[in-house]
Amino acid sequence: MSRPLPLKKKEGERLEFKGAQILHEPDKVARAVVAMLNTRGGEVWIGVREAPGRNEAEPIQDAENARTRLQDSLLDAIEPRLLHDEIELSIEGEDQGGPVLRVGVRPDSRRQPYAVLGRHGARYFWRRFDNRTVPLTREEIGSRFQPAASAKTGAQPPGRRMEPPEILRGERERLLSRGRRFAVVLEPDVGGDLIKQRLAQTDYLSDPTCSGTPRSSYNYAHALYHGGMVAEPKKGSLQVGDESFSLGVLGSGGIRFESALDNLHSRGIIDSAGRALFGTPGFPAPDVLVPEALTGYTCSTLRLAALLLSKEDLWDRLPEGPLWAALFLTGLEGWLLPPGIGLSFGWLHEIERHRYGEEVFAEEWLALNLDDVRDHPDACGLRLLRPLYWSFGWMREDDLPAIQSVGLGPPRL
């Protein structure tokens, strides 16, 4: 069945329209597709022209032939060579003013960055920023080739599927249905067999220094201040905390850290930043994510995963990789995220550019190599955080805070 044409929608990070004549310039389509492959995926519609009020469909002559030619062009023009499920070309809207072409784009984050191949071996890297296509900076390109290098290459056991396990689909729906939440979700591809009773006898969940994380940082052990450890037979997990902060460790080795979004808010910081900039007290304080909290909760949760993975005596059977990971933030509309640390100067004057415009940030599942998690948990945490920063318009690598500056102690990059 044909999809409805997006005639009432506007272009955005995950949606782009091109007129039918673009088929004469397939490199421009490749550019749009690569930009989405390097961001969070989406759809490119060819034969839909954006217009005030209502978009217009431009029928494509010999649509089937055009589809085949475009597919060949994209396969030749994009590196790494596209896999069958990374793009999907379909003919749509024959009964709605079409036919037009739809290119569905679904990136595999392990294979980023994608590039458009140019003449003489040149490679062009693009990404989406809101409704625009912008080039990746040198730092961004570098960062996407680092740090979990083996996970990037997609080195998987032969025959391993490339999709997250079924359990995470339900998890995603559950998290997105809750208001004003922050969540870090980690789940091994093939669950292990964690001896939860043994884990409960350790201080691993209550004492963050066991994972090299200072107590004074924002970290997963905050959940303990909100409730003692209990075994949840139904969930097969150890649970700590309450609605405000919760930490769950599943028998599979999966970890769920959740917090009310307001726990990542600090008026004190924005007050100081406002004064630094304007010299006036009472600067109206918007909702601001504290970068120290965002980074602390994310990276410390990865450190907890690293700690558990390194303790073989906790397992009857160790989990097998990759470790699927994602961040979820709901109730985010209108929030701000400062670059660097919370008190950094020089961003409030462009405050509107960095206000989050949607209700939800839901990260695509990232497949992390288990060895990388064990050895480089902070690097993995920063990989999780990067797309969130991008979605707030912070594109440079050093917009993310340094691990030391958020109180996490010596970095494990």
Partner 1 sequence: MAISSFVEILEDQNPWWRSAARRALSYPRRRELQRQVVARIKRLDDRRALVIRGPRQVGKTVLLLQVADDLLAAGWPPANLAYFDFSDDRLQATVSPRQVAEAHPAGFDPDLPHALLLDEISRAPHWDRWLKQAVDANDGARIAATDSGAALLQAAGEESGQGRWDEAICETYSLRDFAALHAIGDEDVGVILGRDPALTERYLAVGGFPEHAHNLDLPEVRRRLRRDIADRAIRRDLTRAGVEVEQVARLFAYLMESSGAIFTAHSRARDLQADPRSIRKWLDSLLATLLVFRLEPFHSRAAARLRSAPKIFAADPGLVAAFSAAAEDNRLRGLLFEAAVYRHLREAAHELEGELSYFRAPDGLEIDFVLSMPGAIIAIEVTSSTRARSEKLRRARQAADRLGADRLLLVHGGAVAEPAEPVRQVSLTRFLADPTGAVRSEEVG
CB of 215 to partner 1, least distance (A): 4
Smallest gap from Cβ 239 to partner 1, in A, equals: 14
Q: Based on the number of CB atoms within 10 Å of its own CB, is 143 exposed (0-12), middle (13-18) or buried (19 or more)?
A: buried
CB of 216 to partner 1, least distance (A): 4
Q: How far is the CB of 378 from partner 1 (least distance, A)?
A: 15
Amino acid at 231: A
Give me the least distance between CB of 170 and partner 1, in Å please.
Answer: 29
Instruction: Tell me whether residue 218 or residue 328 sits nearer to partner 1 (CB atom).
Output: 218
Name the helix (H) or strand (E) containing 375. Answer: helix 370-375
Nearer to partner 1, 325 or 337 (CB): 337
Distance between CA 213 and CA 134 in Å, rounded? 37
Closer residue to partner 1 (CB): 111 or 303: 303
The rounded distance, in Å, linking the Cα atoms of 108 and 322 is 13
**Cβ-Cβ contacts under 8 Å for 144 (sequence gap 6 or more):** 38, 112, 113, 136, 152
Nearest distance, CB of residue 225 and partner 1, angstroms: 4
Question: What gap in Å lies between CA 413 and CA 398, rounded to an integer?
Answer: 14
Burial track 78-90 (b if 16+ CB lie within 10 A, e otherwise): beeebeeebbebe
ω into residue 80 within 30 of 0, thus cis?
yes
Task: Please give the Cα distance from 36 to 136 (Å, whole number).
Answer: 12
Instruction: CB nearer to partner 1: give 168 or 385.
Output: 385
Interface with partner 1 (CB under 8 A):
203, 206-207, 209, 214-219, 222, 224-228, 244-245, 260, 262-263, 265-269, 271-272, 279, 281-282, 285, 292-293, 341-343, 404-407, 409
Question: Tokens for 26?
Answer: 């397939």
Residue 251 or 286 having the CB closest to partner 1: 286
Nearer to partner 1, 154 or 214 (CB): 214
The nearer residue to partner 1, 170 or 279, going by C-beta atoms, is 279
Q: How far is CA 27 from CA 39, 70, 72, in A?
A: 18, 10, 12
Question: Which CB, 162 or 285, lies closer to partner 1?
Answer: 285
Bridge pairing between strands 126-129 and 123-124: unpaired
* Distance linking the first and last C-alpha atoms of the chain: 48
Least CB distance to partner 1 at residue 297 (A)? 10
* Pairing of β 78-79 and β 315-317: unpaired
